[in-house]
Amino acid sequence: MTSGAFAVASSDEGHSQGGGLFSTDPTLRADFGYKSDHLLAQAAKVLIKTYYGQAATHSYFDGCSQGGHQALTEAQRYPTDFDGIIAGAPANNFTALNTFSHAWTAQSVYLNGGPATITNADLAALHEAVLKGCGAPADGIIADPLSCTWDPATIKCAAGQTSTSADYCLTADQVTTLRRIYAGPTDENGELLYPGYQLRGSELNWAGIITPATATGASGDISFVRETIRYQIFNSPQPTLTYKDIKFTAAYYKKVMALGEGMYDATDPDLKAFKAADGKLILWHGLGDQHIPAVGTMAYYKAVQKVMGGAASTESFARLFLLPGVAHCGGGQGPNTFDALTAMADWVTKGQAPSSLTTKSVDSSGNTTATRPVYPFPYIAENTTGGPADEAGSYTPVKSTAEAGLKLNWLGSFRSGYETVGNWVDGKWVVSKGKV
């Protein structure tokens, strides 16, 4: 609810159907890739001025997942559209994410194309083993999962041992699956093909996405890959391709990443124009995200810091907040409700940059059952007072050496100038490089 303080607009990104078939139309591909929200912003501003007799005082964008992708597209390509942008769990590295990251987890779970080695039934016991291995506190929330390097082989079944709910252990194939999921997609030289991987402690959120209900069932990752490689990445439809057809080699990676030429991606770390327009950016990501690994957003933010002149220069207009235990765009085990819009409005209108955000757990009756602060990257909330784990006042900011020192050996790169612009010219769709 906005209590009348905001006029709200949204779009369907140029299509109403599910799946990726719409991308076979080049106009709809461009609408989805980068145009729709820019055109929406232009139209909304005209309507607001006409209806209210005056222009909107400020404009904000708030989106998560694909909405987070759109948010970063706006900051990178159209830096004057919005005064404040909130980008949650952004799917901004779209091509590599939907091709290589999701296919890697699918091929890891369905080893050699066989039945699933890990199913939803495994997740509770597996998660408990991870919490124990990572030394998690009693509330079961790992504040800094990057710092945990627990190896699944530590609970590998001994010869003749059978896994039970009381004595959970992993088969050799399950160990292989989990090691691959925690490591992320790599080529033949060990270089990541997507700058991220599943963090330890996210296991309870994998159900239906990374793991299926039964060994012969299908996971969500399979469908994500299928729609992307059949209709979105290649220059013509490839309706028979499946996750099994993805090759994790440097040559295949370069081939795939060159096809879209950045049409779907929003990975440019150069936000100088957005900063010059006095724009403000709040990035946030749940550390238990089962769809889009939070490490990818950390990697992008560190690339922004490098281009923008360091941490202090970046924090003057852009801050990243990481939510422990929170799944994709909400849910999960950690406090996942927070008010980023008020924080953004205060930053834009009062110059008050958010030094923290207070997250809450809210039950079905609307009652707050726990609160916890989250601090700007690379700081984490640590209970240094010994107070109740479910009260925000028990926590203080502590710099994470794991987050601050994050380095990724990634085959790709965050770079400027990859953007593409498509238009109809003499009856043909022509794509040229360059920012919009």
Q: For 359-409, write each residue's pLDDT tens digit.
A: 999 999 999 999 999 999 999 999 999 999 999 999 999 999 999 999 988
Q: How confident is the model at residue 164 (pLDDT cuts 50, 70, 90)?
A: confident
Q: How confident is the model at residue 419 (pLDDT cuts 50, 70, 90)?
A: confident
Q: Judge whether residue 433 has pLDDT over 90.
A: no
Residue 436: per-residue pLDDT: 62
Query: For 303-310, what is the mean pLDDT?
Result: 97
HSE-CB at 172 with a 13 A cutoff on CA atoms is: 3
Would the CA dihedral through 14, 2, 291, 255 be positive or negative?
Answer: positive
Of residues 380, 376, 377, the one with CA closest to residue 397: 380
Instruction: Give the helix/strand (H/E) hosting 397.
Output: strand 395-399
212-247: pLDDT as tens digits: 999 999 999 999 999 999 999 888 899 999 999 999
CA distance 170 to 156: 5
Residue 348: per-residue pLDDT: 98
Question: Across the chain, what does the average pLDDT equal?
Answer: 94
Q: What percent of the chain has pLDDT over 70?
A: 98
CA distance 115 to 289: 24
Q: How confident is the model at residue 258 (pLDDT cuts 50, 70, 90)?
A: confident
CA Rg value for the chain: 22
CA distance 287 to 267: 20
Q: How confident is the model at residue 418 (pLDDT cuts 50, 70, 90)?
A: confident
Residue 432: per-residue pLDDT: 82
Q: How confident is the model at residue 261 (pLDDT cuts 50, 70, 90)?
A: low
Query: For 181-208, what is the mean pLDDT?
Result: 97
CA distance 81 to 276: 13
Residue type, 429: W
Residue 1: per-residue pLDDT: 43
Contact indicator for 266, 420 with CB cutoff of 8 Å: no
CA distance 302 to 28: 32
Would the CA dihedral through 416, 418, 424, 427 be positive or negative?
Answer: positive
Query: For 189-206, what is the mean pLDDT?
Result: 97
Q: Judge whether residue 2 has pLDDT over 60.
A: no
Query: For 37-57, what is the mean pLDDT?
Result: 95
Query: For 59-68, what is the mean pLDDT?
Result: 97
Residue 340: per-residue pLDDT: 97
Find how far residue 199's CA is from the centre of its chain.
Answer: 12
Residue type, 272: K
Tokens linked to 338: 């927070």
HSE-CB at 301 with a 13 A cutoff on CA atoms is: 32
Alpha-carbon separation of residue 3 from 6, 294, 365, 371 (angstroms): 8, 33, 22, 25
Q: What percent of the chain has pLDDT over 90?
A: 86
**How does DSSP assign 89-104, residue by residue?**
S---SHHHIIIIIHHH
Find how far residue 414's CA is from the centre of its chain.
Answer: 15
- In this predicted structure, which of 64-68, 286-290, 416-420 has the lowest mean pLDDT? 416-420
